[in-house]
Structure 1
Amino acid sequence: MPFLTAPNWQISWTPLLVLGYLFYLLLGAMVFQLLEKQAETHSRDQFHLEKLKFLQNYRCLDRQALEQFIQVLMEAWEKGVNPERNSTNPSNWDFSNSFFFAGTVVTTIGYGNRSPSTVAGQVFCVFYALFGVPLNLAFLNQLGKGLNAHLITLERWVQKPGHDQVVQRLAVAVFLTAGTLLFLVFPPLVFCYVEGWSYGEGFYFTFITLSTIGFGDYVVGANPNKHYIPLYRSLTAIWIVFGLAWLALVFNVGADLMEKFLQLKWHKPDLSLSEGAPTKLEDEPEQPRIHIPT
């Protein structure tokens, strides 16, 4: 475990990391509450106001009957049934939609806008995820190894004699930029055209999906007023799989950089070691230390 060391005391950075993580969660909670609570309250008040206006205009309706009807609508939405759809609209469980749903299961994205409602479907979903999630992890691991191998090859190439630091940085920048354009920048343009979203909404959906957060507030192919080509959601599922591998590689690189930062690899040499005292620094290179002079 890395330490910050002084002549008479040691401090482990692990508790500091835990405290920093908890502080980050608390900060996010406060910011989200500040940004979203007022809007939620406004929407709730607006809903109750519109319901009262509806009852005033249609006095023959009973309040209890209206509440029951609203409950039926909410249950329908929770089961993925759109009340606006009729029998002529495409099924929520056609092959394209089912393929997309299977992809969200094994990748653990789980948007939450669609789920099996039959007992048989639920049981199958459990066993499908039980074997599918490890299979997906193994596939992404191999795909990530392939991407990492290309990155290592690129790193070795740029480190050849005659390649200065500017060329090295440019090569790495090209590698990261190509993945960013392919998986984060260009897909939102497609979603803007097909779904009618703004670019910000499309980019938000792209990152939330590839990071497997999957809130479910934006889902492709879910607008009942649009006609989608059958392969649209299937192609989206394929894009998600390869995008997951790329973003996981980026996250791993970021985690390595953060770990190196926390381990303080740029430690200053201990001046007392040069006075002839034996040391185990060469035997334990994985535990760098910083010596703070007094």
Structure 2
Amino acid sequence: LFLLQILRKVKNYSEEVVKQIESCWKPESDERAEWNFVTSTLYGFGIVTTLGYNRIAPITLAGRIFCILYGLCGIPVTMITIANVGRYMNTFAKSCKQKIEKFRVHYWNRKTKLKNKTHQDDNGNNNNDDNDDKNEESSTGFASLVLVAAFLVYVAFGALLLPLLNGETDFINGLYYNFLCLTAIDFGQLVPQRVAFLPITFMYVCIGLAITTIAIDVGSEYVRKLHYVGQKMKNVASTRIWFGGKTLKVLDLLHEVGNKCGVEASVIDKMDLDNVIEQAIARNEGRQQLPLKHEDIISTNEPISELLSPEQQSIAAHPIEMYPLLSRSKIRSRSNAQSNNLASLML
């Protein structure tokens, strides 16, 4: 403009010529770089999600101070919210898998006729417990695969959709910009040129961050398993277990269970919990392990009778006197079985 004013004075150009020259250098306006309600919302979203929206920025001192305070308050709340949404989605996926698995097992059991119904009734509880454990493990692995596949499909979908909002079809650049966004680097390049399409980008980024949180959570579980490969259990008694929002030590939990079952705390304290947990994990994973022995569980040379209370010692010494009905029922069932065998032989 300063150059045009000089030309107007020196060369005495007409106004029409000056307007034509000004039109050649007229800057292009970008709605995404102007302060309004939508772009301000995206800028605030970029702050609380730590993504950043580089189209606009505050220029006044008061605006920059407010931006700092807004980020200090909003970032922790947003991170907690996104993490909870991701966990809810992960839990929902696992519950859907478990329901499908239960329906499949129920449908299969209805079509399969078992010949020995008595044997099924005797072993029903144990089989149900084993199936629940296996279903839980399989559901965890299945949910992990589904979530990773959903994350990849979601990124590919955004790589096709977001460039179309600008009237373009550029899958590679769209994939690149999606990677920058969902890895919390920058999402300004995903913003379409038309302000009317900004809410679509806003919703896409919100859902994508939740899926990214799930993928990171699933990956951290496998990294944690990889970290403990080849390491033995140490200090299991002091390990804390999460129950909802509270924690409890393994030893305190065993003390409470032992108290309900009539086992003194001193007996539990003398157990080698590290070895017990390793043996239990090995059996749960299907590895060949010998059954636990007394010397594997109790880390002392004292006989087991000295570790029991007087009441427990009396029960162990006189089981028939303490439980006469149970013992008589067992004797009666054995005598009935022997008489049936003799009758079959005589026939």
Which TM-score band (shorter chain)? Answer: 0.5 to 0.7
Instruction: State the match for 1:187 in structure 2.
Output: 158
Distance change (3 Å), C-alpha of 1:145 and 1:184:
same
Instruction: State the match for 2:76 in structure 1.
Output: 134
Q: 5+ residue gaps in structure 1?
A: 1-82, 268-277, 289-294
Name the CA distance, whole Å, in 1 between partners of 2:143 and 2:31.
49
Distance change (3 Å), C-alpha of 1:158 and 1:92:
same
* Alignment pair present for 1:211 and 2:177: no
Distance change (3 Å), C-alpha of 1:140 and 1:265:
farther
Name the CA distance, whole Å, in 2 between partners of 1:90 and 1:207.
21
Tell me how far 1:210 sits from its aligned partner: 1.3
Tell me how far 1:89 sits from its aligned partner: 5.7
Matched to 1:243, the amino acid is: G
Name the CA distance, whole Å, in 2 between partners of 1:249 and 1:174.
11
Name the CA distance, whole Å, in 2 between partners of 1:281 and 1:127.
48
Q: 5+ residue gaps in structure 2?
A: 1-25, 109-130, 233-270, 282-347
Q: Is the 8 A contact 2:35 2:56 kept in 1?
A: no
Tell me how far 1:197 sits from its aligned partner: 5.9
Name the CA distance, whole Å, in 1 between partners of 2:217 and 2:62.
38
Matched to 1:208, the amino acid is: L
Name the CA distance, whole Å, in 2 between partners of 1:105 and 1:121.
13
Count residues with an aligned counterpart. 185
Matched to 1:191, the amino acid is: L
The alignment yields a C-alpha RMSD, in angstroms, of: 3.5
* Alignment pair present for 1:251 and 2:216: yes
Structure number with higher helix proportion: 2
Name the CA distance, whole Å, in 1 between partners of 2:49 and 2:32.
25
Instruction: State the match for 1:85 in structure 2.
Output: 28
Name the CA distance, whole Å, in 2 between partners of 1:122 and 1:197.
37
| Structure of larger gyration radius | 2
Tell me how far 1:266 sits from its aligned partner: 9.1
TM-score (structure 1 length as normaliser): 0.52
Matched to 1:242, the amino acid is: I
Name the CA distance, whole Å, in 2 between partners of 1:85 and 1:235.
24
TM-score (structure 2 length as normaliser): 0.45
Tell me how far 1:262 sits from its aligned partner: 1.8
Q: Deviations over 1:96-140 (max 9, x none)?
A: 211111111100012544321111211111111111112212211
Q: Deviations over 1:26-69 (max 9, x none)?
A: xxxxxxxxxxxxxxxxxxxxxxxxxxxxxxxxxxxxxxxxxxxx
Q: Is the 8 A contact 1:111 1:214 kept in 2?
A: yes
The percent identity for this pair of structures is 22
* Alignment pair present for 1:281 and 2:274: yes
Name the CA distance, whole Å, in 1 between partners of 2:152 and 2:187.
22
Distance change (3 Å), C-alpha of 1:155 and 1:90:
closer
* Alignment pair present for 1:261 and 2:234: no
Tell me the SS of whatever aligns to 2:95.
Answer: helix
Q: Is the 8 A contact 1:205 1:219 kept in 2?
A: yes
Q: Which has the higher contact order (CA 8 A, sep 6+)?
A: 1
